[in-house]
């Protein structure tokens, strides 16, 4: 599970470099996310533009990361591909996360916040 992290003044961006977050990798994803977001700005954007496939285990791991970050930090998402977007919508998790169309939009919004 490869994640590419960049820390900016007001936001830390994490780009998932894999094409899937599934039952085989969900635990690893959660642990790596915990490591890369341990320090840094309160706002975390997880970019999923490369992720073509997300199952319920992967979705559960993303929710778990949001909870790990605690009440004083926030996890936002960007670049959901069509199948992934549908999984969020069907489980109503689209109402739990702020979802940006792209990482660029998410970062720009964070910078102007």
Partner 1 sequence: MPKLQVPDQDPRTPGLSLTIQADPVSVRGALKRLLSSPPLSDLAGTDRGLAEVVLAEVLNNVAEHAYGGTGGRVEVRLMKEHGLLRCLVVDEGRPMPGGQMPTGRLPGGPDLALDDLPEGGFGWHLIRSLSMDLTYARVDGKNRLSFALVATGESLGTLSPHDRSSGFGSG
3-state secondary structure of 18: coil
Residues 20-49 that bind partner 1 (CB under 8 A): 20, 22-24
Question: What x-and-dash track marks residues 51-70 binding partner 1 by CB under 8 A?
Answer: -xx-xxx-xxx-xx-xx--x
- Tokens 């936001």 sit at which residue? 11
3-state per-residue secondary structure call for 78-109: ECCCHHHHHHHHHCCHHHCCCEECCHHHHHHH
Q: Is 94 in the site for partner 1 (CB under 8 A)?
A: no
Of the two residues 90 and 108, which places its CB atom closer to partner 1 in the complex? 90
Main-chain dihedrals φ then ψ at residue 86, nearest 5 degrees? -65, -40
Cβ 99 to partner 1, closest distance in Å?
16
Side-chain-side CA neighbours of 94 within 13 Å: the count stands at: 14
Residues in touch with partner 1 (CB under 8 A): 20, 22-24, 52-53, 55-57, 59-61, 63-64, 66-67, 70-71, 82-83, 86-87, 90-93, 95-96
């Amino acid at each position: 599970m490869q994640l590419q992290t960049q820390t900016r003044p007001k936001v830390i961006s994490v780009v998932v470099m894999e094409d899937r977050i599934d039952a085989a990798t969900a635990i690893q994803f959660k642990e790596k996310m915990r490591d890369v977001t341990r320090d840094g700005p309160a706002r975390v954007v997880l970019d999923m533009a490369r992720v073509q496939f997300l199952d319920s285990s992967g979705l559960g791991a993303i929710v778990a990361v949001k909870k790990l970050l605690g009440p004083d930090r926030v996890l936002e998402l960007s670049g959901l591909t069509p199948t992934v977007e549908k999984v969020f919508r069907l489980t109503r998790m689209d109402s739990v996360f702020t979802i940006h169309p792209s990482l660029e939009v998410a970062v720009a919004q964070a910078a102007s916040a």
